[in-house]
Amino acid sequence: MTLLYDRIADQLASAITHGALRPGDRMPSVRGLATQRKVSVATVLQAYVRLEDDGLIEVRPRSGHFVRHRALVPSLAEPRLPRKNLAPARVSVTPGVRALMESMRDPSVVPLGAAQVSPALLPIRQLNRRLAAIAREVQDAGGGYGDVAGLPTLRRQLARRSVDMGLSLHESEIVVTVGAMEGLHLALRATAAPGGAVAVEVPTYFGVLQAIEQLGLKAVEVPAHPRTGMDLDCLEQVLAQRAVKAIVAAPNVSNPLGSIMPDEAKERMVRLSAKYDVPIIEDDVYGELAFDGRPRPALAWDREGRVLLIGSVSKTLAPGYRIGWIIPGRYQEHIERLKYSLTVSTPPLLQMAVAEFLSSGGYDRHLRRLRGQLKAQVERTRDAVCALFPPGTRVTSPSGGFVVWVELPAGVDAFTVQSLALAEGISIAPGPIFSARDRFSNHIRLSCGFPWSARTEHAIETVAGIVGRLAGPNRKTG
């Protein structure tokens, strides 16, 4: 159920996003709007508080509400493409990831490290209420293992939603997994044997590299452009050399770049996959969080079951429900066997709750609002980086998701930044864990999953100060 003030806030947010209200514009007066909408002044005020929280408007004392001015700072250049090196590499990102994991355990740390959405932005209460009702009503639920491929009701909802992605899947083509990570492991195991290599975009999510490391695979790193993703000429070169067993890519909102591959590029990637008979493992975990709405996945161009799409509700609904899925194409039977052995099934009660939530219509409303909130948070973080970091810094302009990727001035060591920041109670993700090679020693990833606050602003200022000191005195001004 959407609350009245939320509906008003959504409409105003949309007006801001679409440019009907522009930065610096005065917002409608509270009283005027209350009269026009036939609601109370308190309701409008609540809507304005939410828009303020979302970073869309600001209060100027004794003047009223205004659309936030974003162009206060000159925008920095985007990070450069990583150098090409297409030889397969052993992966060893675990030590760096461990430090990150540990920093995430402490709730007092400002969480700029983990790619997690604040629970405050997720409809977790509504979902838990549904779970409570199901656990009360379906008294014997959980008494059996349930179907290895997942609950028919959830698979039906996912199939229904696939239409909005430009697909028309049948529920039988979907296998529910324990989060996206189980799906990724299953996909890698179904397509590549230990010792083999897989192509990844670089920088790439360290979880992909960890899975590759743990399965005894190697990584071939294909440079990725900060706005358009994987370089397909390089990819073709790798495929022509018969060097890899699979391609792992996140065409829709990569992590850490926030890039979206243009549709023509997706189509070309799928054509290459068919030409060289190499499957694509499509990480679509952030696909729903593209700021301009849901783009089509590469799977939409696949006619031969060679794309294995992986999704989850961990970034949009409830990470702790551990509900993900894989659309395994021609690998379905193999994937189901691997899944049966690995976890037997995904907890049925949690599947039921998510299925009910997806069927309610509230999910799409929530997604629209979440995209707006995350976009605002990403922009604020980006603005702060542009304003506060020393010259020579570069930063991405993400098309979705909730992380920004920052190239620091040459010579600034990301691990040093990480430990100095942690000493100040701030976690960040160091660049080197996003590659299997010695790359990104002067890059960091900042997460923007938590609502902007004075604490966030102060944390970014602190990190900027650390980077400034490390960049040396001659770089401090500029």
Query: Footprint of a second copy on residues 300-359 (CB under 8 A)?
Result: 314, 318-322, 337-338, 340-350
Q: Which of 6, 147, 236, 267 is the binder for a second copy (CB under 8 A)?
A: 147
In DSSP terms, 310 is beta-bridged to 283, 326
Q: Is 3 in the site for a second copy (CB under 8 A)?
A: no
Q: Is 129 in the site for a second copy (CB under 8 A)?
A: yes
Q: Is 395 in the site for a second copy (CB under 8 A)?
A: no
* 175 or 181: CB nearest a second copy: 181
For a second copy (CB under 8 A), the number of binding residues is 61
Q: Is 1 in the site for a second copy (CB under 8 A)?
A: no
Q: Which of 53, 171, 182, 379 is the binder for a second copy (CB under 8 A)?
A: 182
The answer for residues whose C-beta is within 8 angstroms of residue 299's C-beta and 6 or more apart is: 165, 167, 282, 284, 307, 309, 327
Q: Which of 8, 51, 165, 181 is the binder for a second copy (CB under 8 A)?
A: 181
Residue 333 tokens read as: 């039977």
Please state, in angstroms and rounded to a whole number, the distance separating the CA atoms of residues 69 and 22.
8
- Helix (H) / strand (E) containing 199: strand 197-202
* 192 or 243: CB nearest a second copy: 192
Phi, psi of 332 (to 5 degrees): -55, -50
Q: Is 145 in the site for a second copy (CB under 8 A)?
A: yes
> What is the DSSP secondary-structure string of 413-468?
-HHHHHHHHHHTTEE-EEGGGG-SSS--TTEEEEE--S---HHHHHHHHHHHHHHH
Q: Which of 127, 197, 246, 408 is the binder for a second copy (CB under 8 A)?
A: 127
**Taking a C-beta distance cutoff of 8 angstroms, is the pair 201, 177 a contact?**
no
CB of 151 vs a second copy, minimal distance in Å = 10
* 377 or 393: CB nearest a second copy: 377
Residue 127 tokens read as: 């979902």
Residue span binding a second copy (CB under 8 A) among the ranges 127-135, 219-227, 285-293, 416-424: 127-135
Q: Is 424 in the site for a second copy (CB under 8 A)?
A: no
CB of 152 vs a second copy, minimal distance in Å = 12
* 151 or 239: CB nearest a second copy: 151
Residue span binding a second copy (CB under 8 A) among the ranges 25-33, 51-59, 97-105, 355-363: 97-105
Please state, in angstroms and rounded to a whole number, the distance separating the CA atoms of residues 198 and 217.
7
Q: Looking up tokens 């397509």, which residue turns up?
A: 191
Q: Is 101 in the site for a second copy (CB under 8 A)?
A: yes
**Taking a C-beta distance cutoff of 8 angstroms, is the pair 70, 23 a contact?**
yes
> What is the DSSP secondary-structure string of 89-129?
EE---HHHHHHHHHHHH-TTSEE-SS----GGGS-HHHHHH
Kindly calculate the radius of gyration of the chain based on its CA atoms and give it in whole angstroms: 23
Residue span binding a second copy (CB under 8 A) among the ranges 62-70, 79-87, 126-134, 290-298: 126-134
Site string for a second copy, 201-240 (x = CB under 8 A): ------x--xx--x-x------------------------
Please state, in angstroms and rounded to a whole number, the distance separating the CA atoms of residues 427 and 463.
10
CB of 139 vs a second copy, minimal distance in Å = 5
Categorise residue 125: left if φ over 0, alpha if ψ from -120 to 50, beta otherwise.
Answer: alpha
Q: Which of 193, 277, 453, 478 is the binder for a second copy (CB under 8 A)?
A: 193
CB of 322 vs a second copy, minimal distance in Å = 5
CB of 91 vs a second copy, minimal distance in Å = 11
Q: Is 172 in the site for a second copy (CB under 8 A)?
A: no
Return the ∠ at Cα 365 (arms to 299 and 282), rounded to 5°.
20
**Mutual orientation of helices 152-162 and 348-359 as an angle, nearest 10°?**
40
The answer for residues whose C-beta is within 8 angstroms of residue 62's C-beta and 6 or more apart is: none
83 exposure class (CB count in 10 Å sphere: 0-12, 13-18, 19+): exposed
CB of 143 vs a second copy, minimal distance in Å = 3
Residue span binding a second copy (CB under 8 A) among the ranges 132-140, 234-242, 427-435, 455-463: 132-140
Q: Is 94 in the site for a second copy (CB under 8 A)?
A: yes
Q: Which of 4, 135, 274, 387 is the binder for a second copy (CB under 8 A)?
A: 135
Please state, in angstroms and rounded to a whole number, the distance separating the CA atoms of residues 408 and 79.
9
* 132 or 410: CB nearest a second copy: 132
Q: Which of 55, 96, 113, 146 is the binder for a second copy (CB under 8 A)?
A: 146
- Interface residues with a second copy (CB under 8 A) are 94, 98, 101, 105, 116, 119, 122, 124-125, 127-129, 131-133, 135-136, 138-148, 178-179, 181-182, 185, 189, 193-195, 207, 210-211, 214, 216, 314, 318-322, 337-338, 340-350
